Amino acid sequence: MTDAKPMTTAQIEAFFATLQAANPLPVTELEYTSVFELLAAVLLSAQATDVGVNKATRRLFPVANTPQKILDLGLEGLESHIKTIGLYRSKAKHLMETCRILVERHGGDVPRSREALEALPGVGRKTANVVLNVAFGEPTMAVDTHIFRVGNRTGLAMGKTPLAVEQALLRRIPVKYLVDAHHWLILHGRYVCQARKPLCAQCAVSSACNFRHKTTG
């Protein structure tokens, strides 16, 4: 956390215009080919890297990539496919129960309302926001550790909790950038604005960032 000054409206516009120019069509680094595969991958990604999740889903999805097929695998079968992921036992239980609910209440489809998504085991606000944004094109903001850090460090959207940062981002980001902003911020935090040693000298948006200005005088 820093005590960066809030970005101005002009800085925010420059920040996102630059990110958009560099990456006009940003996408998640999780691999999926359907809304259900996305939901499953995001559910498995808690406290795990996208690389690690992709490694496991490359084994799982060719065998079982629908709620019914995962139910047919059984809990032990599911665990055997995702055991390389941290917390795989609890995640397997959540995913199995989620699949059961999808089959019984939603005809095997992933619902597109926040309330229905958050009612699924293992699906919190952040996971629901990812699905709503990536699968359904909703202008939601899933605040993970990267976005929380970037928001506070740069002065883009400061807050002491993920929800506070989420609400600030939704207020401050221009509407034309909102649908893609989630991806831009995650990628920026993952590869440039890193936790321990932000790569300020290599940062394309440093001129719009109040952290770099403060630390370099």
Task: Check residue 212 and give its pLDDT.
Answer: 59
Q: How far apart are CA 212 and CA 217, in angstroms?
A: 8
Residue 216, pLDDT above cutoff 80: no
Per CATH, 9-27+140-215 and 35-134 having the same topology is answered: no
Domain definitions of the chain by residue range: 9-27+140-215, 35-134
Name the catalytic one among 50, 144, 176, 197: 144
* Contact present, 90 and 57 (Cβ < 8 Å): no
* Residue for token pair 């800085």: 11
Distance of CA 130 to the CA centre of its chain: 5
Q: What is the pLDDT of residue 76?
A: 96
**pLDDT digit string, tens, across residues 168-203:** 999 999 999 999 999 999 999 999 999 999 999 999
Q: Is 126 a catalytic residue?
A: yes
160 an active-site residue? no
Classified by CATH at the fold level, domain 35-134 comes out as Endonuclease III; domain 1 (1.10.340)
Q: Which candidate in 3, 5, 93, 126 is catalytic?
A: 126
The overall longest dimension of the chain from CA atoms, in Å, is 60
User: Does this model's pTM top 0.75?
Assistant: yes
Q: What is the pLDDT of residues 30-43, one digit of tens each?
A: 999 999 999 999 99
DSSP summary character for residue 14 = H
Tokens of 74: 């059984």
Pick the CATH number of 9-27+140-215 from 1.20.1730.10, 2.130.10.10, 1.10.1670.10, 2.40.50.140: 1.10.1670.10
